[in-house]
Structure 1
Amino acid sequence: MAASGRQPLGVTGAVVKSAGSRLRSIDALRGFVMVVMLLDHVRETWFLHVDITDPVDARTIMPALFFARLAASLCAPIFVALTGLGVFLYARNHTAQETTSYLLKRGLLLMAIEVFFLSPLYWGIAQPTLWLQVIWCIGVCMIVLAGLFRLPLVTLIVLGLVIVAGHNLLDPIRLSPDAPLHWLWALLHQRDLLVLPFGLVAKTSYPVLAWIGVILLGFGIGPWFLPHVSAQVRQRRLLLLGVGMIALFVGLRSLNIYGDKPWFVVDGDPARTMMSFMSLTKYPPSLDFLLFTLGVGSVLLAFFERIRDAGVTSALSVFGGAPMFFYIFHLAMLRVLYHTALAIWGPNHGILFGFDNYGWVFAWYLGLIIPFYIPTAWFSRLKARRKDIAWLKYF
């Protein structure tokens, strides 16, 4: 298994260049969705006082916030799928035992980071809650993949398709907190609160079942990124896959019978009708949500490979090359900025500080990209230079 992923003696420079380009395009896409994600996290910092029960509620939410949230929704599914793809490429150059060890260690590390570092960042403005969000979810998915990746690739793809296409059939199953399997079901498919000792609660924001299907499908397209597959063939496959998924999303969503909650027509307001059509369920991710976001991601991946020599792509690949560092760093710095503003100016919306105008949220977002890029670039270079520091690979 390890030998099959290494370059044979006498490989041409063109193939080496192609191999580097395909990996850089993966980092560029990962970096792109993380930069887009930053806008949503800036909104959660400076616009937290605005009572938004559902950020994709087509009837009430402001359009600018709706479409910003829709763009940010690309992050989790694309990142989980790319994690699966990255595991496939890692496994080609490592033994099964090394891959299993890596997946277990990193999975447990991600779960610990979510529980012991990321969740407490918000305890000053909310009830002490363990937010089991995307980092927790990716950690669980990696641990599950550690037990499955040895199966035949076709088996993993079929299992991923069955989960992604069929998990909405389980939506009617709702377990009450006193049901024997409530904890398990809340972790798998039912977004819910879990009561913990010492006054804590856990919020299963990212039930993991559907995401397991996504990481399996990301692993399943791994052969397209092997050195013997030309860039033209890979790009054509990615474009066909992406366009096909988007077309399937439009057709399934138009039928309005399966794959997500029903959409509706808003009389005299075509914009809000379109918003309703695009109002997709993320927690847990519906079939329609995954068709749209992963379809867009597949098209973007082909696009980034085609423009691989552009400066923007290189800059984005810096974010994508140190994803965990950027994720932890930017969330911590947003908390520092928030509490600094709160200490200086005091609360101006009840017990919270925030901006009245969403335009200021967008301005802060644009202003923070470069300051967040600089330390991420430093860490990315350190990670590439110091291969002898084993723990760096986990970030």
Structure 2
Amino acid sequence: MHRIYSIDVLRGLIMIIMALDHVRDFFHVSAMTSDPLDLQTTNPALYFTRWITHFCAPLFVFLSGLSVHLMNGRKSKAAISKYLFTRGLWLILIEVTVVSFGLTFNPLMNLAILQVIWAIGVSFLALSLLVFLPWQAVLGIGLLITLSHNLLDTANHSVFMEFAHNTRYTYYQVLPGHGVIVFYPFLPWIGILLMGYGLGRIFRQNIPVARRRRILLTAGSTMVVLFFVLRGINVYGDPRTWASQATALKTFYSFMNVTKYPPSLMYSLITIGIGLIALAALEHARGRFADIAKVYGSVPFFYYILHFYIIHTLCVIVFFASGYGTDQIVNMQVPFLFRPPEFGFPLWVVYIIWIAVVAVLYRPCKWFSQYKRTHKQWWLSYL
């Protein structure tokens, strides 16, 4: 598939930022004992470190849908549908096996954590049916889901609703001794991916760059303005309302503390809105840093899988180096092995580890990106 430079750069930037959040999960001293967005316990550096990573999942999913649209004209609708269906099932399988093991390092493989790869997988299954519709209809369905799904916030709890919308992080046994926890209910993510698919129309080669930039800037600015208007009204769009606090800073924290699980309308508007503006700005971005980001963005699935294993392996090394013993590998308060609740370091150490992890990933990603460009095996489209 012909790659678009600005899309790969933006995707690469969010992959780099995403690693920061996962390094924080494994190495920050309070990651397992407190919420970095808690108004009463956070500080500006910690709040920003967590909040900036809000952009990663929605833009990752949005750009996945956008990339699918670029297959139009090269493949038939039937071929695209078949690819989406099989890749969707593949991604779900990878989530409950490879990704979950990378997160937990649990050799029993008795806990699957359903996160963004699962969400993309289910969204691909939905799009495999909807791809036969005009792109305008797919975009409209995506907008409808994104704008209206918060009406379900007060829906009665059921197993289906937990998987679809209102997650409560409940453990569900699937097989004896094996179960799942849902972090990414699929319905809102389907909406985000469908919006990406619809907007992918403006990245076709017959669309002038200037027109594409205008559309991106208009759509992104509209979403950001709508965020501030609806968030200011404080009635609909996020189950977590904001309130004035004792200080202006804490009021700002409250205002910007939108819900990710599931992604609320407010969360989607501010992250995707700014993302679209960034995508317009990156149309003419060139330079060393953009080229580096493009490398990561050209192999996002490869990067995503590999970064978990590098981070967790490093955690194991530091765990033993810090004097922890084998009797402390498992802790019932934390689903990740080798990561006791009290384990960790100050935030500045987290940043050093993050930079190191991203740097280590560069050459493997560059190699695999080159490999994908020079090889055409069918299975490469699934990685």
TM-score higher than 0.5? yes
Percent sequence identity over aligned pairs = 35
Aligned partners of 2:188 and 2:57: how far apart in 1?
A: 12
Q: Does 1:286 align with 2:264?
A: yes
Aligned counterpart, 1:164 = 146
Letter in 1 for 2:347: Y
Correspondence list, 1:108-187, <5 A: 108-124=89-105, 128-175=110-157, 182-187=158-163
Aligned partners of 1:390 and 1:346: how far apart in 2?
A: 47
CA shift digits 1:255-299 (9 cap, x unpaired): 1111112101111x2111111111010010000000000001101
Aligned counterpart, 1:262 = 241
Q: Does 1:73 align with 2:54?
A: yes
Aligned partners of 2:57 and 2:173: how far apart in 1?
A: 26
Aligned counterpart, 1:367 = 356
Secondary structure at the aligned position of 2:176 is classed as helix
Aligned partners of 1:355 and 1:51: how far apart in 2?
A: 9
Aligned partners of 1:45 and 1:51: how far apart in 2?
A: 9
Which piece of structure 1 moves more, 297-306 or 121-130? 121-130
Q: Does 1:47 align with 2:28?
A: yes
Letter in 1 for 2:268: L
Aligned counterpart, 1:13 = none
CA contact (8 A) 1:120 1:128 kept: no
Aligned partners of 1:86 and 1:342: how far apart in 2?
A: 40
Aligned counterpart, 1:179 = none
Aligned counterpart, 2:335 = none
CA contact (8 A) 2:302 2:365 kept: yes
Aligned counterpart, 1:241 = 219
**Deviation of 1:73 (Å):** 0.9
Secondary structure at the aligned position of 2:72 is classed as helix
**Deviation of 1:314 (Å):** 1.7
**Deviation of 1:52 (Å):** 4.1
Question: 2:308 aligned to 306, 331, 344, which one?
Answer: 331
Question: 1:34 aligned to 15, 24, 42, which one?
Answer: 15
CA contact (8 A) 1:58 1:279 kept: no
Aligned counterpart, 2:282 = 304
Question: 1:340 aligned to 317, 342, 363, which one?
Answer: 317
**Deviation of 1:337 (Å):** 0.8
Letter in 2 for 1:355: G
CA contact (8 A) 1:168 1:286 kept: yes
CA shift digits 1:338-360 (9 cap, x unpaired): 11222333339x76274331110
Aligned counterpart, 1:250 = 228
**Deviation of 1:127 (Å):** 9.9
Residue 356 to residue 127, structure 1, CA distance change in 2 (3 Å) = farther
Aligned counterpart, 1:394 = 382
Aligned partners of 1:165 and 1:113: how far apart in 2?
A: 30
Secondary structure at the aligned position of 1:196 is classed as strand
Secondary structure at the aligned position of 2:180 is classed as strand
Aligned counterpart, 1:376 = 365
CA shift digits 1:113-151 (9 cap, x unpaired): 110111123435899421000001101101110010111
Letter in 1 for 2:242: W
Aligned counterpart, 1:197 = 175
Aligned counterpart, 1:385 = 374
CA shift digits 1:143-185 (9 cap, x unpaired): 110010111222222211111011001100131xxxxxx3322
**Deviation of 1:320 (Å):** 0.9
Aligned counterpart, 1:355 = 344
Q: Does 1:63 align with 2:40?
A: no
Aligned partners of 1:122 and 1:71: how far apart in 2?
A: 21
Aligned partners of 2:122 and 2:29: how far apart in 1?
A: 29
Residue 223 to residue 356, structure 1, CA distance change in 2 (3 Å) = closer
Question: 2:5 aligned to 24, 27, 48, which one?
Answer: 24
**Deviation of 1:49 (Å):** 5.4
Residue 331 to residue 300, structure 1, CA distance change in 2 (3 Å) = same
CA RMSD of aligned residues (A): 2.1
Secondary structure at the aligned position of 1:73 is classed as helix
Aligned partners of 1:120 and 1:198: how far apart in 2?
A: 18
Which piece of structure 1 moves more, 29-38 or 125-134? 125-134
